[in-house]
C-alpha cells in the first residue's frame, strides 16, 4: 500500500510543526532559566559587594586603634559606592559627617542595619 504524495506531504508538515512547538517550548524554558540565573548572579554580586564593604569597614574602622588613614577612607568610599545604593550611600555620608561620637554610633547602627537588610539570602 502506497501513501499518496499529498497525504505524505501533509503528514511531514504536521510532524515538523509539532517539532517546532517542542523546540519553541524548550527555547522558552531555557530563556526562563537564563533569566533566573542572571537574577541570582546579580543578587550574589550585590551580596559580595555588601560583605566586602562590611569586612573592610570592620578591619579599617572598628579594629582601628586610632585615626583612620586617608587611603583607608578612600578604600571605604570606593567600596560603598560600588554597592550602588543611594540609601546606603546617604547613610554612609551621615555617618562620615557625624559631629560627635554618640551621633556617629547612631548613624553607624543605621548603616549596618541597611547593609544587613540589603543582603539577599
Q: How many residues does the chain have?
A: 121
Minimum mean pLDDT range among 33-47, 64-78, 99-113: 64-78
Q: What pLDDT, on a 0 to 100 scale, did the predictor assign at position 62?
A: 85
Cell, residue 112: 549596618
Q: Please, are residues 80 and 92 in contact by the beta-carbon 8 Å criterion?
A: yes
State the residue range of the domain holding 48.
Answer: 5-118
Q: Helices 5-57 and 101-118 sit at what angle, rounded to 10 degrees?
A: 160
Which pLDDT belongs to residue 1?
A: 66
Cβ neighbours of residue 110 under 8 Å, at least 6 residues apart? Answer: 91, 94, 95
Q: Total structural domains in the chain?
A: 1
CA distance 73 to 69: 6
* pTM confidence score: 0.74
Q: What is the pLDDT of residues 49-84, one digit of tens each?
A: 999 999 999 998 888 777 888 999 999 999 999 999
Amino acid at each position: 500500500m502506497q501513501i499518496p504524495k499529498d497525504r505524505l506531504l501533509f503528514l511531514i508538515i504536521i510532524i515538523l510543526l509539532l517539532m517546532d512547538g517542542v523546540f519553541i517550548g524548550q527555547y522558552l524554558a531555557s530563556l526562563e532559566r537564563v533569566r533566573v540565573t542572571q537574577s541570582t548572579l546579580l543578587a550574589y554580586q550585590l551580596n559580595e559587594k555588601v560583605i566586602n564593604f562590611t569586612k573592610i569597614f570592620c578591619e579599617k574602622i572598628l579594629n582601628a586603634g586610632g585615626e583612620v588613614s586617608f587611603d583607608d577612607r578612600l578604600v571605604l568610599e570606593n567600596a560603598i559606592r560600588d554597592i550602588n545604593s543611594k540609601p546606603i550611600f546617604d547613610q554612609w555620608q551621615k555617618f562620615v559627617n557625624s559631629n560627635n561620637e554618640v551621633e556617629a554610633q547612631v548613624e553607624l547602627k543605621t548603616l549596618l542595619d541597611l547593609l544587613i537588610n540589603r543582603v539577599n539570602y
